[in-house]
A and B are shown apart, each in its own frame.
Chain A
Amino acid sequence: MKLKNNIAIAENGFIFNAARGDSFTTNPIGIFILQGLKNNWDKARLCQEILVKYEIDEATCEKDLYDFLKMLKHYDLIEE
Protein backbone atom coordinates (compact mmCIF):
# COMPACT_ATOMS: atom_id res chain seq x y z
CA MET A 1 0.00 0.00 0.00
CA LYS A 2 1.70 3.08 -1.25
CA LEU A 3 0.77 6.60 -2.28
CA LYS A 4 1.24 6.92 -6.01
CA ASN A 5 3.83 9.21 -7.45
CA ASN A 6 2.71 12.59 -8.68
CA ILE A 7 0.17 13.09 -5.90
CA ALA A 8 0.42 16.60 -4.52
CA ILE A 9 -1.07 17.28 -1.09
CA ALA A 10 -1.55 20.91 -0.07
CA GLU A 11 -1.82 22.01 3.54
CA ASN A 12 -5.34 23.26 2.95
CA GLY A 13 -6.52 19.77 1.98
CA PHE A 14 -6.29 20.15 -1.79
CA ILE A 15 -5.09 16.96 -3.46
CA PHE A 16 -3.99 16.81 -7.06
CA ASN A 17 -3.27 13.68 -9.03
CA ALA A 18 -0.91 14.92 -11.72
CA ALA A 19 -1.01 11.65 -13.60
CA ARG A 20 -4.76 11.79 -14.13
CA GLY A 21 -5.61 15.46 -13.67
CA ASP A 22 -8.06 14.74 -10.84
CA SER A 23 -8.36 17.01 -7.85
CA PHE A 24 -9.93 16.38 -4.45
CA THR A 25 -10.41 17.94 -1.08
CA THR A 26 -9.98 16.26 2.25
CA ASN A 27 -10.23 17.19 5.92
CA PRO A 28 -7.33 17.51 8.39
CA ILE A 29 -7.39 13.84 9.43
CA GLY A 30 -7.41 12.94 5.73
CA ILE A 31 -4.25 15.01 5.25
CA PHE A 32 -2.73 13.31 8.28
CA ILE A 33 -3.37 9.87 6.77
CA LEU A 34 -2.08 10.89 3.33
CA GLN A 35 1.11 12.21 4.86
CA GLY A 36 1.44 8.97 6.78
CA LEU A 37 1.13 7.07 3.51
CA LYS A 38 3.85 9.28 2.07
CA ASN A 39 6.06 8.15 4.94
CA ASN A 40 5.24 4.56 4.03
CA TRP A 41 3.24 3.84 7.19
CA ASP A 42 1.24 0.65 6.92
CA LYS A 43 -2.37 0.19 8.09
CA ALA A 44 -1.38 -0.79 11.61
CA ARG A 45 0.93 2.18 11.98
CA LEU A 46 -1.67 4.57 10.59
CA CYS A 47 -4.24 3.28 13.02
CA GLN A 48 -1.83 3.54 15.90
CA GLU A 49 -0.87 7.13 15.03
CA ILE A 50 -4.52 8.19 14.72
CA LEU A 51 -5.27 6.68 18.12
CA VAL A 52 -2.46 8.71 19.63
CA LYS A 53 -3.56 11.95 18.05
CA TYR A 54 -7.37 11.69 18.15
CA GLU A 55 -9.98 10.89 20.75
CA ILE A 56 -11.41 7.71 19.24
CA ASP A 57 -11.83 4.00 19.91
CA GLU A 58 -9.87 1.45 17.95
CA ALA A 59 -12.82 -0.19 16.19
CA THR A 60 -14.19 3.04 14.75
CA CYS A 61 -10.72 4.21 13.81
CA GLU A 62 -10.01 1.02 11.93
CA LYS A 63 -13.39 0.96 10.19
CA ASP A 64 -13.13 4.57 9.02
CA LEU A 65 -9.49 4.19 8.00
CA TYR A 66 -10.24 1.14 5.86
CA ASP A 67 -13.12 2.97 4.20
CA PHE A 68 -10.89 5.95 3.47
CA LEU A 69 -8.17 3.74 2.03
CA LYS A 70 -10.78 2.08 -0.17
CA MET A 71 -11.79 5.49 -1.49
CA LEU A 72 -8.14 6.36 -2.15
CA LYS A 73 -7.82 3.15 -4.08
CA HIS A 74 -11.10 3.80 -5.91
CA TYR A 75 -9.80 7.16 -7.06
CA ASP A 76 -6.48 5.63 -8.01
CA LEU A 77 -4.45 7.56 -5.47
CA ILE A 78 -2.77 4.55 -3.88
CA GLU A 79 -1.55 1.19 -5.06
CA GLU A 80 -1.37 -2.09 -3.16
Chain B
Amino acid sequence: MQEFFAANLPYLLSGISAGGQYALIAIGYTMVYGILRLINFAHGDVFMVAGLVMVYTTASLPMYISIPIVLIATVVLGFLIERAAYKPLRSAPRMSVMISAIGVSYLLQNCALYFTGGLAQTYPAIPFLSKSVVIFGATTKMVTVITPILTIVLVFVLVALIKYTKIGMAMRAVSKDFETSQLMGIKINSVISVTFVIGCFLAAVGSLLWFSNYQSIVPTSGSMPGLKAFVAAVFGGIGSIPGAVIGAFIIGICENIIKGVGLTTFSDAFTFVLLIIILLVKPTGIFGEKATDKV
Protein backbone atom coordinates (compact mmCIF):
# COMPACT_ATOMS: atom_id res chain seq x y z
CA MET B 1 0.00 0.00 0.00
CA GLN B 2 2.72 2.40 1.06
CA GLU B 3 4.79 1.51 -1.96
CA PHE B 4 1.85 2.09 -4.27
CA PHE B 5 1.26 5.43 -2.58
CA ALA B 6 4.90 6.46 -2.92
CA ALA B 7 5.09 5.42 -6.56
CA ASN B 8 1.85 7.15 -7.50
CA LEU B 9 2.23 10.27 -5.40
CA PRO B 10 3.00 12.59 -8.34
CA TYR B 11 -0.06 11.29 -10.16
CA LEU B 12 -2.19 11.57 -7.07
CA LEU B 13 -1.07 15.15 -6.56
CA SER B 14 -1.74 16.15 -10.14
CA GLY B 15 -5.04 14.28 -9.88
CA ILE B 16 -6.09 16.34 -6.88
CA SER B 17 -5.10 19.52 -8.63
CA ALA B 18 -6.90 18.55 -11.86
CA GLY B 19 -9.89 17.60 -9.73
CA GLY B 20 -9.98 21.06 -8.17
CA GLN B 21 -9.84 22.66 -11.58
CA TYR B 22 -12.61 20.45 -12.91
CA ALA B 23 -14.62 21.31 -9.81
CA LEU B 24 -14.43 25.01 -10.56
CA ILE B 25 -15.72 24.43 -14.08
CA ALA B 26 -18.27 21.85 -12.98
CA ILE B 27 -19.95 24.30 -10.63
CA GLY B 28 -20.78 26.49 -13.61
CA TYR B 29 -22.41 23.54 -15.36
CA THR B 30 -24.31 22.31 -12.38
CA MET B 31 -25.70 25.71 -11.41
CA VAL B 32 -26.85 26.50 -14.94
CA TYR B 33 -28.37 23.07 -15.30
CA GLY B 34 -30.06 23.37 -11.95
CA ILE B 35 -31.82 26.53 -13.02
CA LEU B 36 -32.29 26.36 -16.79
CA ARG B 37 -32.14 22.57 -17.33
CA LEU B 38 -29.59 23.33 -20.02
CA ILE B 39 -26.24 21.69 -20.70
CA ASN B 40 -24.23 24.80 -21.39
CA PHE B 41 -21.95 23.32 -24.04
CA ALA B 42 -20.26 26.70 -24.39
CA HIS B 43 -18.97 26.70 -20.82
CA GLY B 44 -15.77 24.84 -21.70
CA ASP B 45 -15.11 27.36 -24.44
CA VAL B 46 -15.66 30.27 -22.08
CA PHE B 47 -12.94 28.66 -19.99
CA MET B 48 -10.68 28.54 -23.05
CA VAL B 49 -11.43 32.17 -23.92
CA ALA B 50 -10.46 33.17 -20.37
CA GLY B 51 -7.10 31.56 -21.00
CA LEU B 52 -6.65 33.40 -24.29
CA VAL B 53 -7.59 36.75 -22.72
CA MET B 54 -4.86 36.14 -20.17
CA VAL B 55 -2.35 35.46 -22.93
CA TYR B 56 -3.21 38.67 -24.74
CA THR B 57 -3.45 40.96 -21.70
CA THR B 58 -0.16 39.85 -20.17
CA ALA B 59 1.53 40.66 -23.45
CA SER B 60 1.13 44.36 -22.70
CA LEU B 61 0.05 44.67 -19.05
CA PRO B 62 1.57 43.60 -15.73
CA MET B 63 0.22 40.51 -14.04
CA TYR B 64 -1.64 42.25 -11.18
CA ILE B 65 -3.78 44.19 -13.67
CA SER B 66 -4.31 41.42 -16.19
CA ILE B 67 -5.68 38.87 -13.73
CA PRO B 68 -8.61 41.13 -12.71
CA ILE B 69 -9.15 41.95 -16.38
CA VAL B 70 -9.38 38.25 -17.18
CA LEU B 71 -11.91 37.68 -14.43
CA ILE B 72 -14.04 40.65 -15.49
CA ALA B 73 -13.85 39.86 -19.20
CA THR B 74 -14.92 36.25 -18.64
CA VAL B 75 -17.84 37.29 -16.47
CA VAL B 76 -18.96 39.83 -19.08
CA LEU B 77 -18.65 37.20 -21.80
CA GLY B 78 -20.79 34.78 -19.83
CA PHE B 79 -23.40 37.45 -19.21
CA LEU B 80 -23.51 38.42 -22.88
CA ILE B 81 -23.79 34.81 -24.03
CA GLU B 82 -26.74 34.26 -21.75
CA ARG B 83 -28.48 37.43 -22.89
CA ALA B 84 -27.81 36.95 -26.59
CA ALA B 85 -28.10 33.22 -27.08
CA TYR B 86 -30.22 31.73 -24.30
CA LYS B 87 -32.64 34.44 -23.20
CA PRO B 88 -34.48 34.70 -26.56
CA LEU B 89 -35.12 30.95 -26.39
CA ARG B 90 -36.53 30.79 -22.90
CA SER B 91 -39.90 29.47 -24.02
CA ALA B 92 -38.50 27.34 -26.84
CA PRO B 93 -38.10 23.55 -26.51
CA ARG B 94 -35.05 22.38 -24.60
CA MET B 95 -33.48 20.95 -27.72
CA SER B 96 -33.33 24.40 -29.38
CA VAL B 97 -31.54 25.90 -26.39
CA MET B 98 -29.05 23.06 -26.42
CA ILE B 99 -28.47 23.59 -30.13
CA SER B 100 -27.98 27.28 -29.46
CA ALA B 101 -25.36 26.36 -26.84
CA ILE B 102 -23.60 24.18 -29.38
CA GLY B 103 -23.72 27.08 -31.84
CA VAL B 104 -22.14 29.41 -29.27
CA SER B 105 -19.42 26.86 -28.62
CA TYR B 106 -18.76 26.65 -32.36
CA LEU B 107 -18.66 30.45 -32.60
CA LEU B 108 -16.24 30.86 -29.70
CA GLN B 109 -13.92 28.19 -31.06
CA ASN B 110 -13.91 29.75 -34.51
CA CYS B 111 -13.30 33.23 -33.10
CA ALA B 112 -10.40 31.85 -31.09
CA LEU B 113 -9.08 30.19 -34.24
CA TYR B 114 -9.29 33.51 -36.05
CA PHE B 115 -7.55 35.56 -33.36
CA THR B 116 -4.78 33.07 -32.69
CA GLY B 117 -4.32 32.29 -36.37
CA GLY B 118 -4.49 28.59 -35.51
CA LEU B 119 -1.21 28.67 -33.56
CA ALA B 120 -0.97 27.24 -30.07
CA GLN B 121 -0.49 30.07 -27.58
CA THR B 122 1.82 29.78 -24.60
CA TYR B 123 0.23 30.70 -21.32
CA PRO B 124 2.27 33.16 -19.26
CA ALA B 125 3.83 31.78 -16.10
CA ILE B 126 2.20 33.36 -13.07
CA PRO B 127 5.24 33.72 -10.77
CA PHE B 128 3.57 32.67 -7.54
CA LEU B 129 1.71 29.70 -9.02
CA SER B 130 4.53 28.34 -11.12
CA LYS B 131 7.05 28.09 -8.28
CA SER B 132 8.31 24.57 -7.64
CA VAL B 133 7.65 22.95 -4.29
CA VAL B 134 8.52 19.56 -2.85
CA ILE B 135 5.80 17.56 -1.08
CA PHE B 136 6.67 14.19 0.47
CA GLY B 137 9.60 13.97 -1.89
CA ALA B 138 7.61 14.70 -5.06
CA THR B 139 8.44 17.88 -6.92
CA THR B 140 5.49 19.79 -8.26
CA LYS B 141 4.30 23.30 -8.99
CA MET B 142 2.81 25.56 -6.36
CA VAL B 143 -0.49 25.50 -8.27
CA THR B 144 -0.97 21.85 -7.30
CA VAL B 145 -1.08 22.84 -3.65
CA ILE B 146 -3.07 26.02 -4.15
CA THR B 147 -5.82 24.51 -6.33
CA PRO B 148 -7.57 22.23 -3.82
CA ILE B 149 -7.34 24.83 -1.07
CA LEU B 150 -8.66 27.63 -3.27
CA THR B 151 -11.38 25.37 -4.66
CA ILE B 152 -12.62 24.40 -1.24
CA VAL B 153 -12.57 28.01 0.01
CA LEU B 154 -14.51 29.18 -3.04
CA VAL B 155 -17.03 26.38 -2.68
CA PHE B 156 -17.64 27.28 0.94
CA VAL B 157 -18.15 30.92 0.02
CA LEU B 158 -20.53 29.88 -2.74
CA VAL B 159 -22.52 27.54 -0.55
CA ALA B 160 -22.82 30.28 2.08
CA LEU B 161 -23.93 32.68 -0.63
CA ILE B 162 -26.63 30.31 -1.78
CA LYS B 163 -27.76 29.48 1.72
CA TYR B 164 -27.81 32.85 3.42
CA THR B 165 -28.26 35.65 0.89
CA LYS B 166 -31.41 36.80 -0.77
CA ILE B 167 -30.17 36.11 -4.28
CA GLY B 168 -29.12 32.63 -3.14
CA MET B 169 -32.58 31.99 -1.85
CA ALA B 170 -33.98 33.19 -5.17
CA MET B 171 -31.68 30.78 -6.99
CA ARG B 172 -32.87 27.86 -4.92
CA ALA B 173 -36.46 28.84 -5.55
CA VAL B 174 -35.96 29.15 -9.30
CA SER B 175 -34.22 25.79 -9.53
CA LYS B 176 -37.12 24.17 -7.64
CA ASP B 177 -39.86 25.64 -9.76
CA PHE B 178 -39.32 28.08 -12.56
CA GLU B 179 -42.86 29.30 -13.03
CA THR B 180 -43.99 29.50 -9.44
CA SER B 181 -40.96 31.52 -8.41
CA GLN B 182 -41.75 33.91 -11.23
CA LEU B 183 -45.24 34.29 -9.83
CA MET B 184 -43.74 34.99 -6.41
CA GLY B 185 -42.08 38.08 -7.82
CA ILE B 186 -38.58 36.75 -8.34
CA LYS B 187 -36.87 38.44 -11.27
CA ILE B 188 -35.97 35.33 -13.22
CA ASN B 189 -33.68 37.05 -15.67
CA SER B 190 -31.48 38.64 -13.06
CA VAL B 191 -31.24 35.37 -11.14
CA ILE B 192 -30.17 33.55 -14.30
CA SER B 193 -27.65 36.27 -15.10
CA VAL B 194 -26.16 36.02 -11.62
CA THR B 195 -25.88 32.26 -12.08
CA PHE B 196 -23.97 32.72 -15.30
CA VAL B 197 -21.78 35.39 -13.74
CA ILE B 198 -20.82 33.13 -10.84
CA GLY B 199 -20.24 30.16 -13.14
CA CYS B 200 -18.03 32.16 -15.47
CA PHE B 201 -16.11 33.72 -12.61
CA LEU B 202 -15.26 30.27 -11.29
CA ALA B 203 -14.39 29.09 -14.80
CA ALA B 204 -11.98 32.03 -15.11
CA VAL B 205 -10.33 31.12 -11.81
CA GLY B 206 -10.21 27.52 -13.02
CA SER B 207 -8.55 28.59 -16.25
CA LEU B 208 -5.85 30.52 -14.35
CA LEU B 209 -5.02 27.37 -12.42
CA TRP B 210 -5.47 24.88 -15.27
CA PHE B 211 -3.33 26.70 -17.80
CA SER B 212 -0.61 27.33 -15.22
CA ASN B 213 -0.31 23.57 -15.30
CA TYR B 214 -0.79 22.83 -19.02
CA GLN B 215 0.72 25.81 -20.65
CA SER B 216 -0.46 25.69 -24.23
CA ILE B 217 -3.85 26.89 -25.47
CA VAL B 218 -5.47 25.94 -28.74
CA PRO B 219 -9.09 26.79 -29.68
CA THR B 220 -10.27 23.30 -28.75
CA SER B 221 -8.47 23.06 -25.43
CA GLY B 222 -11.63 24.01 -23.58
CA SER B 223 -13.88 21.28 -24.90
CA MET B 224 -12.34 18.24 -23.19
CA PRO B 225 -12.02 19.78 -19.69
CA GLY B 226 -15.51 21.17 -20.21
CA LEU B 227 -17.00 17.78 -21.02
CA LYS B 228 -15.18 16.15 -18.13
CA ALA B 229 -16.40 18.82 -15.76
CA PHE B 230 -19.91 18.20 -17.00
CA VAL B 231 -19.48 14.48 -16.35
CA ALA B 232 -18.31 15.39 -12.86
CA ALA B 233 -21.46 17.42 -12.38
CA VAL B 234 -23.64 14.52 -13.52
CA PHE B 235 -21.67 12.10 -11.38
CA GLY B 236 -22.20 14.17 -8.28
CA GLY B 237 -25.85 14.73 -9.01
CA ILE B 238 -26.63 17.60 -11.29
CA GLY B 239 -27.80 20.72 -9.53
CA SER B 240 -25.84 19.89 -6.39
CA ILE B 241 -22.67 21.92 -5.75
CA PRO B 242 -20.97 19.64 -3.21
CA GLY B 243 -21.80 16.73 -5.53
CA ALA B 244 -20.08 18.43 -8.46
CA VAL B 245 -16.98 19.10 -6.37
CA ILE B 246 -16.71 15.53 -5.11
CA GLY B 247 -17.37 14.16 -8.59
CA ALA B 248 -14.68 16.41 -10.02
CA PHE B 249 -12.09 15.26 -7.51
CA ILE B 250 -12.93 11.60 -8.15
CA ILE B 251 -12.62 12.06 -11.90
CA GLY B 252 -9.41 14.08 -11.65
CA ILE B 253 -7.71 11.55 -9.39
CA CYS B 254 -8.85 8.43 -11.28
CA GLU B 255 -7.86 9.91 -14.59
CA ASN B 256 -4.35 10.76 -13.46
CA ILE B 257 -3.84 7.37 -11.84
CA ILE B 258 -4.87 5.76 -15.15
CA LYS B 259 -2.25 7.89 -16.84
CA GLY B 260 0.22 6.73 -14.23
CA VAL B 261 -0.54 3.07 -14.93
CA GLY B 262 0.34 3.72 -18.57
CA LEU B 263 -3.05 3.72 -20.28
CA THR B 264 -2.98 7.36 -21.36
CA THR B 265 -5.14 6.61 -24.42
CA PHE B 266 -7.97 5.63 -22.12
CA SER B 267 -7.77 8.47 -19.61
CA ASP B 268 -10.40 10.46 -21.52
CA ALA B 269 -12.50 7.41 -22.29
CA PHE B 270 -12.54 6.43 -18.62
CA THR B 271 -14.44 9.59 -17.73
CA PHE B 272 -17.19 8.67 -20.16
CA VAL B 273 -17.30 5.06 -19.02
CA LEU B 274 -17.84 6.42 -15.53
CA LEU B 275 -20.59 8.68 -16.87
CA ILE B 276 -22.43 5.84 -18.54
CA ILE B 277 -22.13 3.61 -15.49
CA ILE B 278 -23.50 6.30 -13.20
CA LEU B 279 -26.32 7.11 -15.61
CA LEU B 280 -27.36 3.48 -15.68
CA VAL B 281 -26.98 2.72 -12.00
CA LYS B 282 -28.09 5.97 -10.42
CA PRO B 283 -29.17 8.51 -13.05
CA THR B 284 -29.60 11.26 -10.49
CA GLY B 285 -25.96 11.04 -9.38
CA ILE B 286 -24.59 10.68 -5.86
CA PHE B 287 -26.31 13.68 -4.33
CA GLY B 288 -29.02 14.34 -6.87
CA GLU B 289 -32.65 14.69 -6.01
CA LYS B 290 -35.07 12.22 -7.45
CA ALA B 291 -36.89 13.67 -10.41
CA THR B 292 -40.47 12.67 -11.08
CA ASP B 293 -42.02 12.66 -14.51
CA LYS B 294 -45.40 14.19 -14.90
CA VAL B 295 -47.58 13.79 -17.91
User: A and B: partners?
Assistant: no
